[in-house]
Structure 1
Amino acid sequence: MRSTAQANKAEAKWISLFNGKDIEDWFVKIHHHEVGVNAHETFRVEDGMIKVRYDKYGDFNDQFGHLYYKTPYSYYRLVVEYRFAGELQRGAPSYTVLNSGVMFHSQDPHTMPKEQDWPISVEMQFLAGLGDGKVRPTGNMCSPGTDIVFQGKKYDGHCLNSSSKTFGKDEWVRAELIVLGDSLITHMINGDTVLQYTHPTMGGGVANNYDRSVWQEGKPLKSGYIALQSEGQPIDFRKVELLPLR
C-alpha cells in the first residue's frame, strides 16, 4: 500500500495557467475601469507570450492594472518567467520603471470598485537594474492593504527587498513562489531562495478606495487570486505554471 505522501506526490501535476494562445481563462481589472475591461488592450497575447503594452495609451493616468487567473488557490508552487521590454509609459510614476510583479492571495477583483487602485493582496515584485551599477534585487515583497511577519516580527514597511542579484532589462528570469496558506511564503529566483516570511494578513496601507466591507484588519490571508501586474512598464510573460500542494 502506498503512503499518503506517495499518493499525493503521484497525484500532483503542474498546471499551465497560460496556454500560450489566449487569456480566456483570465480577467482584467484596471484602475478607472470596471472589472473585465481590458482597456487599451493592455494585456495581449503575441508570439506565445502574455505581453503588457501601452502603445494604445495616451498619458498613463494611474491606470494600474492586473490580469487575474480565474481560480483562487491556497497551497501551491507558482512559476513565472518574465523579462522587461520597451520604455516606461509617459506619465507613469518614476518608481515603476523596470518594475512589475505577480500578486497573490488577492481579493476577488469583482469586489473592487472602479476607482480602487491596487488589490488587497501580497506582491512578489519584479525589478531590473537601471544600468547605474547599483544593486536592485528582484523577487521582493510588497504589501498593498496587507501585513506580513518577517523574522518573527510584524514588518513595518510596504516593500521588503530579497537577497537576489541584479538582473538586466532584457534577461529572462524564473521567479517561483511557494505559498503555504497563511503560514510560510518563500520567494525563489532562478532556483535560489531569496526571501521568506510568514502570516500574511489584511492590514497596512497603500491600497485606496476599496470597499470597506471587504477589508478586515488582521484577517489571515489563507487563499486568493493570482494576478500579473501592469503599472506602466512593458513586460513579457512566457510561462505561468502552478503545482497544487494540497
Structure 2
Amino acid sequence: MMRYCLLLLLLAATSFTGRLSDPGPGDGPGNLADDDWHSLFNGRNLKGWDSYLKGIGLNTDANKVFTVVTEEGEKVIRISGEITGGLSTKKEYGDYHLQLLFKWGVLTWGTKKGRKKDSGLLYHSVGPYGADNGAWMRSQEFQVEEGNVGDYWGCAGATADIPAIKKTDSDYVYSPTGALYTFRADSHTGRHCIKAGDAEHPTGHWNSLDLYCHGDTAVQVVNGQVMMILYHCGQVDNGTIKPLTKGKIQLQSEGAEVFYKQIRIRPITQLPAEILKQ
C-alpha cells in the first residue's frame, strides 16, 4: 500500500499534457491542440492496419467485416461484427495518448444477437494473433460494450494491478481508494474489473475514448471522465509476471456493428496529473 500511495503522489506532481473534454452527444472531439498528433486512420482506406478473423486468418476479409464507409458525411471505419476478430495497427506504440470516437450501429450477430452491443479497444497487443478466443492478441482491453464502456479485461495472459472494491466473489469495482488487486485469469480475482461510474452517451451518438499509457501505468477515459487507472501492466510468462508496456492497438469485431473515427495518437513523457483529481 505504501508503494501505491507514493506512486499516486509522484503522478500527481506531474504536469498536465492534454485531456479531451466531453464532446456531448453527436459532437466532435472537443478543442485540443493538434501539436504532436499522428493520425492512425487516413480517412480513405485501412492502410497501416491488419485484419484478423477467427477461423479465417490474417488479411483475408471476403465478408468485408472491416471497411471504410461514409457516415454523416464523414469517412469512418465500419466494423460489421459479423465475424469475431480484430483490426490491428501494423506498428507498436508505448508512452502515448490515444484518442478516438466510436458509436454503435444497429446490427448484432450470432450469440450477441439482440444483446448488448460489444467491441473493444485492445492495447499493448503482443504475440500471436488468435491467442485470446482464437481472435485477438495478448493485450489489455479497454472495454467497449453498451453500458460497460471503460471496464478492464486482461486478454491471453495480460495482467494489471487495479485499486478496487470487492462487491462479490467475482465482481470488483474500480475505486481510487480501494485495495490494490492483481487481475489475471489464473487468480481468484479473475481478469475483469468493473469501471467506476457511467459516462457513455445514448446508443447512436458518438463517444470519445482517451487512453493514456506511460511506463506500466494506463488511464482509461470515457467522454472526459476517468473510468479506471491500471498500475503495473504486465503479462504472465511461464508463471512469472513480466512488464507489458507497449504493443499494437486492436479494434475488436465482436458480434455488433460499430463505427470508429478520428483515431489519433501522440507521444507523452508523463501522465496528466489533472485526470487523477477526478
**TM-score, normalising length: structure 1:** 0.77
Match 2:209 to one of 171, 175, 183? 175
Give yes or no for contact 1:139–1:164 (8 Å, CA) kept in 2: no
Q: Which amino acid is 2:192 matched to?
A: C
Output the CA distance in 2 between the equivalents of 1:38 and 1:215: 34
1:50 CA displacement: 0.2
1:159 CA displacement: 2.1
Q: Which amino acid is 1:194 matched to?
A: M
Structure-1 residue corresponding to 2:195: 162
Match 1:80 to one of 100, 108, 124? 100
1:215 CA displacement: 7.3
Give yes or no for contact 1:138–1:164 (8 Å, CA) kept in 2: no
Output the CA distance in 2 between the equivalents of 1:82 and 1:216: 36
Give yes or no for contact 1:30–1:39 (8 Å, CA) kept in 2: no
Going by fraction, where is strand more abundant, 1 or 2? Answer: 2
Structure-1 residue corresponding to 2:228: 195
1:139 CA displacement: 1.5
Alignment of 1:1-246 (within 5 A): 13-47=36-70, 48-53=75-80, 63-89=83-109, 91-93=110-112, 97-108=116-127, 111-112=128-129, 116-128=134-146, 136-145=147-156, 146-151=158-163, 152-155=180-183, 156-165=189-198, 166-182=200-216, 184-203=217-236, 217-246=240-269
Output the CA distance in 2 between the equivalents of 1:215 and 1:230: 29
Output the CA distance in 1 between the equivalents of 2:49 and 2:181: 35
1:20 CA displacement: 0.9
Output the CA distance in 2 between the equivalents of 1:216 and 1:18: 37
Q: Kindly report the root-mean-square deviation, in angstroms, between the aligned alpha carbons of the 2 structures.
A: 2.8
Number of residue pairs matched? 212
Give yes or no for contact 1:137–1:164 (8 Å, CA) kept in 2: no
Gaps of 5+ in 1: 55-59, 129-135, 204-213
Gaps of 5+ in 2: 1-13, 19-32, 164-179, 184-188, 270-278
Give yes or no for contact 1:202–1:215 (8 Å, CA) kept in 2: no
Structure-2 residue corresponding to 1:133: none
1:25 CA displacement: 1.0
Structure-1 residue corresponding to 2:30: none
- C-alpha spacing 1:65/1:201, structure 2 compared with 1 (3 Å): same
- C-alpha spacing 1:113/1:192, structure 2 compared with 1 (3 Å): closer
Output the CA distance in 1 between the equivalents of 2:259 and 2:150: 16
- C-alpha spacing 1:74/1:216, structure 2 compared with 1 (3 Å): farther
Q: C-alpha offsets along residues 177-226 of structure 1, whole Å, 9 cap, x if unaligned?
A: 001132x11011111212111112223xxxxxxxxxx8774121021000
Give yes or no for contact 2:86–2:135 (8 Å, CA) kept in 1: no
- C-alpha spacing 1:227/1:94, structure 2 compared with 1 (3 Å): same
1:96 CA displacement: 6.6
